[in-house]
A and B are shown apart, each in its own frame.
Chain A
Amino acid sequence: GAGVSQSPSNKVTEKGKDVELRCDPISGHTALYWYRQSLGQGLEFLIYFQGNSAPDKSGLPSDRFSAERTGGSVSTLTIQRTQQEDSAVYLCASSLAGAGLYNEQFFGPGTRLTVL
């Protein structure tokens, strides 16, 4: 069956440019997460969407980062004026609801972003 998909799989950009990363969650999953994994680091929480509720943006590292989720499905993570420290793998995950024993997160393969 269709899992979580992300595009592009790889993105190389120049410092100062804007980038958009896309996530297609599993159909019917109301919860969607974005994480960042920098080299040698764990997964860093960025943002959480749940249904029509206001997103939890507490993990976004700066105001250059923003995310949207349209129609409760597809999400885009936008990074403006990219910096070299933004280079990382950006992972998206979806689940049936927020968290807990029965609401497993399913991850996409990630987008590897390289800022030159």
Chain B
Amino acid sequence: DQQVKQNSPSLSVQEGRISILNCDYTNSMFDYFLWYKKYPAEGPTFLISISSIKDKNEDGRFTVFLNKSAKHLSLHIVPSQPGDSAVYFCAALSGTYKYIFGTGTRLKVLA
């Protein structure tokens, strides 16, 4: 049973436009969420996180929105750049140390 779902396996966006990556979760006990970015042949790197006490967290071009009632979070990248092309994973913290990852969305930013 997939507790964290990323239903879009891929997304293409024009450079300069907004990229919106979505993530849904099923467990209302999750209270901390993260986004990771992964380039080919590299490990994932942390991008941005959000605690369930917030509904928005912003860091430069990256903003994460959390809708607890819908059990949905999204990552917005504005403006999108070709270097943002990567696979993006959302993850939820289960308990105190175990992370549950989604299957990833491959973002391609077209120049």
Identify the closest chain B residue to A91 (Cβ).
B43
Q: How far is the CA of A108 from the CA of B43 in the complex (A)?
A: 5
Q: How far is the CA of A95 from the CA of B66 in the complex (A)?
A: 25
- Which interface class (under 10, 10 to 19, 20 to 34, 35 or more) fits A? 20 to 34
Q: Is A31 an interface residue (CB 8 A)?
A: yes
Question: Contact between A31 and B97 (Cβ–Cβ < 8 Å)?
Answer: yes
Partner of A101, one of B51, B89, B99: B51
- A41 smallest CB distance to B (angstroms): 6
Identify the closest chain B residue to A4 (Cβ).
B43
Identify the closest chain A residue to B97 (Cβ).
A98
Q: Which residues of B contact A35 (CB under 8 A)?
A: 101
Partner of A41, one of B41, B44, B96, B103: B103
Q: How far is the CA of A1 from the CA of B104 in the complex (A)?
A: 28
Q: Which residues of A contact B102 (CB under 8 A)?
A: 42
- A101 smallest CB distance to B (angstroms): 7
Question: Contact between B4 and A109 (Cβ–Cβ < 8 Å)?
Answer: no
Known: A42-B102, A43-B89, A101-B49. A50 touches B43 (CB 8 A): no
Question: Contact between B100 and A45 (Cβ–Cβ < 8 Å)?
Answer: yes
Q: Is B13 an interface residue (CB 8 A)?
A: no
Question: Contact between B96 and A101 (Cβ–Cβ < 8 Å)?
Answer: no
Identify the closest chain A residue to B102 (Cβ).
A42
Q: Which residues of A contact B6 (CB under 8 A)?
A: 42
Question: Contact between A93 and B43 (Cβ–Cβ < 8 Å)?
Answer: yes
Known: A105-B46, A107-B43. A43 touches B101 (CB 8 A): yes
Known: A40-B103, A41-B103, A101-B51. A50 touches B46 (CB 8 A): no
Q: Which residues of A are in contact with B by a Cβ distance under 8 Å?
A: 4, 31, 33, 35, 40-45, 48, 50, 56, 91, 93, 98-101, 104-110
Q: Which residues of B are in contact with A by a Cβ distance under 8 Å?
A: 4, 6, 9, 32, 41-46, 49, 51, 89, 91, 93, 96-104
4 smallest CB-CB distances across A and B, nearest first, come from A107-B43, A98-B97, A42-B101, A43-B101
